Amino acid sequence: GKTLPWGSLTGIRPTKIALSRLEEGWDEEEIRRYMKETYLASDEKVNLSVEIAAREKRLLEPLDYERGYSLYVGIPFCPTTCLYCSFTSYPIGKWKGRTGLYLDALFHELEYTAKKMEGRPLDTVYFGGGTPTSLEAGEIDSILCKLDRLFDLSRALEFTVEAGRPDSITWEKLQVLRDHGITRISINPQTMNQSTLDLIGRRHTVEMVKERYYMAREMGFDNINMDLIMGLPQEGMDEVRCTLDEIRAMKPDSLTVHSLAIKRAARLNMFKEDYEGLTIQNTPEMIDLSAACARELGMEPYYLYRQKNMAGNFENVGYALPGKACIYNILIMEEMQTIVACGAGTTTKVVFPAENRRERCENVKEVEQYISRIDEMIGRKERILV
């Protein structure tokens, strides 16, 4: 007797249903009817899926699915680990003086990858983690210099660097990114309420978010993304309104709105007894408010995905101004192109378009294991990269 926004759909890529059918020549009304009848999804979610899929199809048209590829470079370090986080990330303080060991292994894997993919067009590069900017400016520069030497970046459509944690950003680090022509960065507040930031383990202030954002603007960055999370502990409509008011004032170029998903490996799940009194709510009103804010700023939804255990059973949506969408984000979700990933905890996905087949291989998550087993990680790639 219950009605769910996504009906019976449980997968993480609902837009794939719409996009694959658009590619097959279905018209939008046929797709809407199919999703509604087959999955009992609401009109709102069906319309959102079709709108995003149509935009994805246009954005992906310049890409060569058969020969082209994208590169992901993973940095598994953060200033601290957030309460809800289950990504591969380790507090950078514990690796002080030893990050060079990680970079040596990463460079070895990048050298193999460049040789293996030589001659194929590199369409997008994504430098994520963790938080890449938790490294020192000189270390970031050495990685970017290595990429410049190894790969032909001349025709890449975009190069994104996650500068997600404001407390990891300095003028020197941003200058390194500018010097290397990075086209897109993320500065992620998650919320603009200080009490929530303190609770979830983000060791930065609301003011710091603004300072780092305007610093990047002054340095000439013209494609800045910001991530927000709906359903954070102790947040209701008032807190969400406060966050969105601050975002409106800053006017980022894209906004990724997540619904809190508590994974098995998150501290919020592993140590439940410590957080029993916390209230977690995510409502349709919160989702609608964030969508309205993005559209008021002139943004359009361009990619979408879902996760298990999401607060409110909703979705994560990326919004962007025209010309500011992240192609890599679409590719990772729609699995239309090979993405070669290097670094601890990363996953390489190889796409065989002619066979509509995908294969994947994963690198180990633990940093010391990655360093000691780097040749094994390369061997895993050798088995599926052709």
> What's the pLDDT tens digit per position in 101-159?
999 999 999 999 999 999 999 999 999 988 999 999 999 999 999 999 999 999 999 99
> How do residues 45-84 score in pLDDT, each as one tens digit?
999 999 999 999 999 999 999 999 999 999 999 887 666 6
pTM: 0.93
User: 262 or 90, which is more confident?
Assistant: 90
Options 3.90.470.10, 3.20.20.70, 3.30.930.10, 1.10.150.120; which CATH number does 69-341 get?
Answer: 3.20.20.70
161/131 Cα distance (integer angstroms): 9
Name the one residue in this structure whose structure tokens are 């303190």: 198
Task: Report the pLDDT value the prediction gives residue 262, as an integer from 0 to 100.
Answer: 60
Of residues 233 and 308, which shows the higher confidence score?
A: 233
CB atoms within 10 A of CB 30: 12
CA nearest neighbour of 199 among 235, 246, 238, 167: 235
Give the containing element (helix H, strand E) for 301: strand 300-305
pLDDT over 90 at 21, yes or no:
yes
Annotated domain spans of the chain: 14-60, 69-341
Q: Can you tell me the distance from the alpha carbon of 277 to that of 3, in angstroms, rounded to the nearest whole number?
A: 29
Q: Quote the crossing angle between the two packed helices 327-334 and 14-23, to the nearest 10°.
A: 90
Tokens of 174: 């941003």
Residue 80 amino acid letter:
T
Query: Which three-class secondary structure state does DSSP give residue 224?
Result: strand
Quote the pLDDT of residue 267: 47
User: What pLDDT does 271 receive?
Assistant: 43
pLDDT score at 101: 97
The residues facing 226 across adjacent strands are 255
Q: What is residue 138's three-state secondary structure?
A: helix
Instruction: Note the helical H segments in 271-354.
Output: 284-296, 327-334
Average pLDDT, the chain: 92
pLDDT at 305: 94
Q: Which amino acid is at 338?
A: T
Report the pLDDT value the prediction gives residue 1, as an integer from 0 to 100. Answer: 81
DSSP secondary structure of 154-210: TT-SEEEEE---GGG--HHHHHHHHHTT--EEE---B-S-HHHHHHHT--S-HHHHH
